[in-house]
Chains A and B, each alone.
Chain A
Amino acid sequence: MSKFDILISGVGGQGTVLASRLIAAAAINQGCFARTAETIGMSQRGGCVVSHVRIDSQKSGSVIPLRSAHMLIAFELAEAARNIPRLSKKGCCIVNTQVIKPVSASLGNSHYDNNEIIKYIKDNSQEVYFIDGYSLAEKAGNVKAVNVVLLGAATAVGKMPFTKEIMQDAIIKNVPQKFRELNQKAFEMGYEATVKLIIKA
């Protein structure tokens, strides 16, 4: 197995930590070694959060170096742009188009321009998939399932070092029983939406 580094970025409260744990769990089930590093503490609800997942990198630190991630899964539009510098030139990125405006932007103390951000993401990544994860999660039954929608999307790209079944299995084993059906549905919806994008491309 060759090394595979995945960066997950988003806003506190979106479920990025759980998403990184689920990917790591899938990697371990495949027989790989996994490492993660996460943002925890200091009221991260609403703050920038980043999770690093490194597969088969026993002799490395837990943080993915700049321009080295094979994949970026961004849970929020501006957070995608903020973390593009860690993505490898040959890497791919999955971007949730959802916009979460911080209080600073609503107050007019900071800037949020969707079009500029989208252009920057497109200009700086070779392969990018824009997914409306919020609407898909809403359709699946709960907007909080947006993290699993995006895991479905990331799996559909077909670059992760494990199969779709192993990823699904990790999700089912690690979420509470009463949310299993919701998460399965959310995963499939993210997966299907991305497959459609790939076919179109």
Chain B
Amino acid sequence: MSKKLLMGNEAIALGAIRAGVNIVTGYPGTPSTEVLETVARNNPGDIYVEWSVNEKSAMEVAAGAAYSGARTMVTMKQVGLNVASDPLMSLAYIGVKGGMVILVADDPGPFSSQTEQDTRHFARYSNLPVLDPSSPEEAYEMIQYAFELSEMVELPVFLRPTTRICHSCATIDLDEKRLEHKIEGFVKDPRWVIFPSLAYKKHIHIEKLQHKLSDIFSDLSFNKVEGKDVRLGVAASGVAYSYVVEALEKLNADVKLFKVGTPYPLPSDVASSFLEELDEVLVFEELDPVVEEEIIMLCASKQQKIRILGKKTGHLPFAGEYTFELVYDALAKYLNIEIEEFENTLAPELPVRQPVLCAGCPHRASFYAVKIAMKSQKAVFTGDIGCYTLGNAKPLDMVDTCLCMGAGITVAQGIKRAQPDTKHIAFIGDSTFFHTGIPGIVNAVYNNTDITVVILDNSTTAMTGHQPHPGTGKTMMNNISEKIDIYGMVKACGVKHIVKGNPLDFNNAVDIIKKAAEYKGPSVVIFEAPCIALFKPPVKYTINENCKNCKKCITDIGCPAISFIDGKVSIEPSLCYGCGLCTNVCPFNAIGGEENE
């Protein structure tokens, strides 16, 4: 045993390694990414780890291995689960042999997501059990149990941490003794082929299993009833439980508290013993009222008359992250305890710090080149998911739509059909191109839709922390692999006008865009320049005496390294990455380069 400060995601990864996981697959997505990365970094040597091309592929690779008796884990964020939902639903019927954990991180807030969707619905929808940790320490325990449970019931099991679990650290007692899990190998059996007749039988089977799972969960310490008060009860799941415990301590209050570690299926026996003699229950859970509804249904089935308060009654909000303050206020009101109002002196107006493209980011040059090239024309710019979504920020203002991974290209086609007299330019990153961009390009070619796709190839998956992908020629196992050529892929899709260029070679980049936009039919521009995190800048730029303080370098491109301080434009040396885009913007030749030491 050793004590270590571990991030929730690291705790989950080390727990999986300890449980003898053999195969780990996933697609990066905040807040889930570090789970797979930590397995790769701490790989004892016999675990296969891959970043798959998207979540559906990752789920299917993990499923195949689990059919063969391997312990497997597949990682993604909540929106990624939508991509993997097709194999998920069938897999729930087919089941697995080796333990399979589907790690899906939810993002209440949201901090970095398109939606706040709740993965526990997918658990209910697919009839698969879900474990919901309330702390990083508990996540470490739960992941190990999840493999056992999965093998016991031969079903994949969800572990669903939220951002505050994934990205919080705690002191964890690590058990370094690792369980060895032997892979038996694939045994041919009709159970692996989902024919309609099998599906019917399996549906009956998994419905019955729900009751068994509920009984199994009633014996787990992840679910428990604490406290004394016999009239007022509180139920809490996930990170909300830790806020409730902290708030009860501060309020010096005692209530009957139901800690729900398995929101679905609800552990009915524990829940029933909790509900005994209660008049009211207040339910705390982030996102949707999953536990709340399960408790309402349990009360209804037992004809118990208990008031269940929560989101459905307006006592707690549906949207946004829960906080200590929110839980504390709601508990005080519920328990009728008077608390001091929080008074705050009015702060002065503070500067807004929106997320922006990094100083030196080549995407800024790409967006600016397209902006200049399309200046006098009517154009719509469809964006996608990645760092380059930040191209929507002022002054670039170059992202008019953003829906989900890969959709920029297809949304552009839809707008083109509705608005044919406009130029339509879709932006997509290199990793997203492989994820779900290719079918959109095939669709444009097949239907001969006149759009221009700009692929922003910075040689990495930048937003989630620089993971490799099929275009990088590297894998997560540190192998060199076949580098899949984006140009060749686009050509194979049937695009006739394809041009590669460097966005930092600015005038040429503008010309390339002009020509691609003039081409009738689908055209593709591939702008290649590496992410600034991948290299050390060779030069840094400074402002010289020619500067007239016109601020065009600030107002045109919005580089965070350039600011206006004490009446002068200046470049912060610790931020400049030497991209030189500003030198193309300055009308007075007032920006010069210096070699970096």
A residues bordering B, Cβ < 8 Å?
A: 11, 13, 21, 24-25, 28, 32-48, 59-63, 65-67, 78, 81-82, 84-85, 99-107, 109-113, 116-117, 119-120, 123-124, 143-144
Contacts and interface: CB of A to CB of B under 8 A. Distances in A.
B348 A11 contact: no
Contacts of A48: 353
B247 to A, nearest CB: 9
A78 to B, nearest CB: 5
B26 interface: no
Contacts of B560: 45-46, 102-103
B390 A117 contact: no
B111 interface: yes
Nearest to A113: B348
Given A21-B169, A41-B112, A103-B560, A78 B350 contact: yes
A44 B355 contact: yes
A46 B355 contact: yes
B555 A112 contact: no
B324 A61 contact: yes
A104 B354 contact: yes
Contacts of A36: 5, 168-170
Interface stretch (B91-99, B144-152, B257-265, B339-347): B339-347
Interface centre among B4, B171, B242, B564 (most CB of A within 10 A): B171
A106 B563 contact: yes
Given A35-B170, A37-B167, A61-B242, A110 B30 contact: no
B350 A37 contact: no
B245 to A, nearest CB: 5
Interface centre among B347, B353, B355, B387 (most CB of A within 10 A): B353
Interface of B: 3-5, 30-31, 111-112, 135, 164, 167-171, 239, 242-243, 245-246, 249, 323-325, 328, 342, 344-345, 347-359, 387, 390, 393-395, 463-464, 551, 554-555, 558-560, 562-565, 572-575
Nearest to B4: A28
A42 B111 contact: yes
Nearest to A52: B168
9 contacts: A33-B171, A34-B169, A41-B30, A63-B164, A63-B323, A102-B351, A103-B395, A103-B560, A109-B394
A110 B349 CA distance: 8
A124 B356 CA distance: 31
Contacts of B30: 40-42
B167 A106 contact: no
B140 to A, nearest CB: 14
B348 A46 contact: no
B463 A35 contact: no
A117 B353 contact: no
Interface centre among A25, A46, A102 (most CB of B within 10 A): A46
Nearest to A20: B169
Contacts of B349: 110-111, 113, 116
